[in-house]
Amino acid sequence: MVVGLCTVELYLAEAYSLKEKRRILKSVLDKVRARYNVSIAEVDHQELWQRATLAFACVSNDQGHLHKVLDAVIRFIENQNGAEIIDFQTEIL
CATH code of the domain containing 48: 3.30.70.1120
Which residue segment(s) compose the domain that 67 sits in? 2-92
Rounded to whole angstroms, the Cα distance separating 46 from 18 reads 9
Q: Could you give the number of structural domains in the chain?
A: 1
Confidence (pTM): 0.87
Q: Is the pLDDT of residue 9 over 90?
A: yes
**pLDDT band at 3; cut points 50, 70, 90:** very high
DSSP output for 27-79: HHHHHHHHHH--EEEEEE-TT-SSEEEEEEEEEES-HHHHHHHHHHHHHHHHT
10, 79 contact by CB (below 8 A): no
What pLDDT, on the 0 to 100 scale, is given for residue 14? 85
Q: Which tens digit of pLDDT belongs to each residue from 38-86?
A: 999 999 988 888 999 999 999 999 899 999 999 999 999 999 888 899 9
Residue 45 confidence (pLDDT): 86
